[in-house]
């Protein structure tokens, strides 16, 4: 590897707070969280920012995913930055390309792209107190006072562990690695998985393909997506009526959290309401009782992430679409072989089988105090203090980190609150002239114990299903309280939970 040292490198060995200079801040990843961090930090006067993006353009999940039907099941006016409300959303629930265009418009408007180094993945982060040494894929080495990882959650595709997968003679790809160069028209297509992604893809391609086999291992609870195209008059009103956009954003947030979050977090009446709505939707959409029975889950609604999709059930009833509920035995060169011995012959096999959700910033090697590696710290399961910081990893923050608020809500809203919390911590470091911040071990343990105690009451734990919210021990690894509480934690951080230390001078 060509190890080189950049011009700015290795000089800052003192504390930015006592030296009276700007902190050098590295932000890793230029998706919604990373762009939000660049903008909000600069707005608050933190200007020495470098964002490392492994790809050639911004976008994160909205760049990597471009499958047919890609849309967001969080309402557009809530799935937006609070500081860049958009009166021009065309639909109540936006499609992928419009969301990516919005992110680019905001990044351009606030000049965020000037701080991004594209095609520059980070391989290593090593804490050399009070700085972090960062190594890029190109072998460049630099030091930063603080690191903010904004590397996303659903990043690394999970390929199913099915015998013979590689033996398939046709084309196959994962939903997050969509092949735009292979037309589906008239082809025999199979799709493995029936999660949020698969439902959107099935709805979008069923009318185009020759034949579609949908391989379902577990049925998911689905509610309708009340899609709506916004009129020009409505968009005009949003521009003209002061406060209207914000009121709509807040209403959408209340609605999402009042329905899904409450239903998940022990409000049994609300859980029943959500489940009954799904059952009514199912009955209305699928008149055939036999097919209906095959797609009716036997676990509680909100145990897995709720799916909002209005195209899936109609697609399943098209003549060229077959729901396959026999277990998959193997993939063979001709197609997919199921437990009944049948080979479903295919030209194209689509894998909508989800993501490795325990990776976060990994495989970047992150080494904290006393040589502690993040992968070792996370050996049992990825944990964090308030889904943001880690004991033993000073001056290091992770947006959308483990145990975060990942249910049916806007991750943009959550990451904005996390960025505000990071800024509050930086302001305190500056005020008190301290060089090092990290959560106290005892605060981290107390917080995680409280989480473990309360998560057991949620339908993620009690609903009787398997989901990506569960860690390797089968425990939900997700925020167990209402999102409102998390926002308040972020707005009013309890500094007594952190150790703030001045720079130790060697004598």
Looking at the Cβ atoms of 68 and 502, the one nearer to ligand NAP is: 68
- Among 352, 387, 414, 437, the residue binding ligand NAP under the rule CB under 6 A is 352
What is the three-class DSSP state of 174? strand
- Among 99, 192, 206, 263, the residue binding ligand NAP under the rule CB under 6 A is 192
| Residue 303 in contact with ligand NAP, rule: CB under 6 A | no
Are residues 349 and 214 in contact, defined by beta-carbon separation less than 8 angstroms? no
How does 479-499 read in b/e, with b if 16+ C-beta sit within 10 Å? bbbbbeebbebbeebeeebbb
What is the three-class DSSP state of 374? helix
Q: Which stretch binds ligand NAP (CB under 6 A): 96-104, 142-150, 189-197, 424-432?
A: 189-197
| Residue 73 in contact with ligand NAP, rule: CB under 6 A | yes
To ligand NAP, the closest distance from the beta carbon of 386 in angstroms equals 21
| Residue 198 in contact with ligand NAP, rule: CB under 6 A | yes
Interface characters, 135-164, with ligand NAP (x: CB under 6 A): -------------------x-----xxx--
For residue 442, give the H/E element and its range. Answer: helix 441-455
- Among 50, 104, 197, 477, the residue binding ligand NAP under the rule CB under 6 A is 197
- Among 133, 218, 227, 285, the residue binding ligand NAP under the rule CB under 6 A is 218
Q: Which stretch binds ligand NAP (CB under 6 A): 68-76, 254-262, 265-273, 288-296?
A: 68-76
- Among 17, 135, 172, 194, the residue binding ligand NAP under the rule CB under 6 A is 194
* Separation CA 34–CA 151 (nearest Å): 8
Looking at the Cβ atoms of 79 and 393, the one nearer to ligand NAP is: 79
Site of tokens 């009340």 = 226
* Separation CA 215–CA 195 (nearest Å): 11
Looking at the Cβ atoms of 275 and 409, the one nearer to ligand NAP is: 409
| Whole-number Cα distances in Å, 217 to 179, 295, 321, 493 | 24, 10, 17, 43
End-to-end Cα, the chain, rounded Å:
36
Cβ count within 10 A of residue 172: 18
| Residue 328 in contact with ligand NAP, rule: CB under 6 A | yes
Query: Which residues ranging from 465 to 484 are in contact with ligand NAP (CB under 6 A)?
Result: 466, 468
| Residue 264 in contact with ligand NAP, rule: CB under 6 A | no
Instruction: Give the CA-trace dihedral at 473, 393, 441, 266, to 10 degrees.
Output: -40
* Separation CA 77–CA 252 (nearest Å): 7
**Binding site residues, ligand NAP, CB under 6 A:** 71-74, 154, 160-162, 175, 192-198, 217-218, 305, 328, 352-354, 466, 468
């Amino acid at each position: 590897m060509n190890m080189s040292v950049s011009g700015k490198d290795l000089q800052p060995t003192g504390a930015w707070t006592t030296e009276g200079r700007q902190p050098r801040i590295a932000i890793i990843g230029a998706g919604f969280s990373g762009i939000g961090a660049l903008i909000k930090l600069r707005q608050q006067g933190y200007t020495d920012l470098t964002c490392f993006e492994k790809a050639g353009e911004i976008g994160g999940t909205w760049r990597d995913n471009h499958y047919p039907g890609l849309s967001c099941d969080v309402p557009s006016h809530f799935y937006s930055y609070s500081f860049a409300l958009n009166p021009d959303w065309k639909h109540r629930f936006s499609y992928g390309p419009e969301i990516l265009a919005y992110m680019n418009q905001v990044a351009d408007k606030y000049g965020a792209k000037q701080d991004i180094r594209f095609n520059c993945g980070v391989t290593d982060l090593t804490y050399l107190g009070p700085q972090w040494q960062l190594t890029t894929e190109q072998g460049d080495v630099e030091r930063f006072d603080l690191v903010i990882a904004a590397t996303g959650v659903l990043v690394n595709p999970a390929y199913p562990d099915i015998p013979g997968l590689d033996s398939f003679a046709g084309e196959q790809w994962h939903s997050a690695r969509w092949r735009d160069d292979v037309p589906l028209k008239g082809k025999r297509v199979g799709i493995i998985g029936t999660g949020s992604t698969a439902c959107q893809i099935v709805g979008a391609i069923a009318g185009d393909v020759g034949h579609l086999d949908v391989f379902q291992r577990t049925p998911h609870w689905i509610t309708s997506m009340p899609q709506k195209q916004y009129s020009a008059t409505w968009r005009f009103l949003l521009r003209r009526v002061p406060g209207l956009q914000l009121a709509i954003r807040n209403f959408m947030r209340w609605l999402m959290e009042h329905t899904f979050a409450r239903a998940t977090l022990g409000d049994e009446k609300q859980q029943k309401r959500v489940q009954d709505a799904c059952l009514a939707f199912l009955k209305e959409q699928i008149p055939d009782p036999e097919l209906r029975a095959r797609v009716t889950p036997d676990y509680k609604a909100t145990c897995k992430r709720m799916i909002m999709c209005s195209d899936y059930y109609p697609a399943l009833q098209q003549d060229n679409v077959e729901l396959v509920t026999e277990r998959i035995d193997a993939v063979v060169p001709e197609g997919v072989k199921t437990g009944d011995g049948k080979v479903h012959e295919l030209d194209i096999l689509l894998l909508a089988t989800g993501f490795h959700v325990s990776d976060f910033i990994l495989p970047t090697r992150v080494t904290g105090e006393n040589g502690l590696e993040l992968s070792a710290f996370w050996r049992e399961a990825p944990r964090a203090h308030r889904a943001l910081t880690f004991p033993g990893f000073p001056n290091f923050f992770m947006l959308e980190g483990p145990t975060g608020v990942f249910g049916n809500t806007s991750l943009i809203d959550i990451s904005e609150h996390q960025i505000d919390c990071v800024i509050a911590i930086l302001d305190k470091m500056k005020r008190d002239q301290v060089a090092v911040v990290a959560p106290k071990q005892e605060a981290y343990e107390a917080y995680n114990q409280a989480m473990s105690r309360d998560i057991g009451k949620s339908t993620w734990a009690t609903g009787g299903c398997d989901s990506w919210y569960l860690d390797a021990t089968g425990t939900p690894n997700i925020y167990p309280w209402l999102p409102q509480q998390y926002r308040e934690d972020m707005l009013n951080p309890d500094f007594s939970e952190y150790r703030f230390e001045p720079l130790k001078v060697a004598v």
